[in-house]
Structure 1
Amino acid sequence: MSSPCDPEYAPAGDVSAALLMIDSRLRSVYAGKAASDTEQQEMVAQFAASLGPAGVDALLDGTCTLIYMFMKWLRMACDDHDKDVIEYSVPALVATMRMMPKTFRPEVIPTMAGLLVAAGTGLSPNLWRTQYGQWTENEMNPLEAMTVLLAEHINRIADDQDFATRLITEALSRAEQD
């Protein structure tokens, strides 16, 4: 039975721009030069302003597509080891979010966890979230940070700091060839 939250009904968004933002953030973290929250918010605000309203929506959809693709990869990796992706990944990511109260205020953690669970069960994170109303301004920074945490989680599993980015880049290349 089909769900209204099936990924086939979700817009993919601007996955390339979302990946660019996430990869940039990962590289700065790995280099030990993480921008302050204020600096990062200013850069994201400038980037978003350059996109316009439609571009921001596409970036948001693209970020949710990244979450879906990352969780799909994790689900397949967990299945190969007879593990449940929700049990294996979500508690660790939520625990990390709880250790970052400036980025993840307590009221956004359930939404971020819900996005992970939705994607981990094969649902579209953006369609799952949309059924509860419009995205809020207070969810934007946590959404980006959670996507970075998820990519970093994958990189640690693969023992390769570029694995998550390469995973998406290769998927985009294959889709372009088809």
Structure 2
Amino acid sequence: MNEPSYKGPLHKEVSKLSNINPRFHRISSMLLDHVVLCIVIVPLSILIFVLVINFKQSLNNWIGTSLMFFPFFIYLNKDFLNGKSPAKRILGYQVIDRKTEKPASELQCFIRNLTICLIWPIEVVVGYINPERRIGDFLANTKVTMNNKEKLNSLWRDLKKVHFKAIYIIITIIGIIYFYGLSFVLPQTPIMN
């Protein structure tokens, strides 16, 4: 591996471990994404939870449930910007389309992450066995490849370049249907009852 241009916290330790076992590098990307996104999602989830509890009399069940799933929708779109989640930027990975070898589309990135809510631990095992593809990659016809390492603030640069596309509506509709289906699978919470 090339010496990275970005040297963040724990860089030396992660580099040592990844040189011992290259698969560790890929798994560390998955776990780092999980940690970074939890740091963003947990406070947002708590805020939404408090709002739903305080305003449950004026919210119908569907709106309250939708608000509760919103943070997970963010998690499913973690690779949305140029096929790079926060950890993929730091560690030098990118999700690409298997046919074109170009960055995966927003829809492909969303589809590849649909399995996370249901079988995340299995995805980690599959990612360890096959660092290029996990189960979600087979669904979206994508793979993860090495790419340039970037600073985390590159997210803002890519976010500024985003322009509305019709596919965003489709992703939102799929997300609503997906989470509506999950609401039947997951145990009912007494909050909205």
Question: Normalising to structure 1: TM-score of the pair?
Answer: 0.30
Structure with more helix by fraction? 1
Q: Which has the higher contact order (CA 8 A, sep 6+)?
A: 1
- Per residue, is there more strand in 1 or in 2? 2
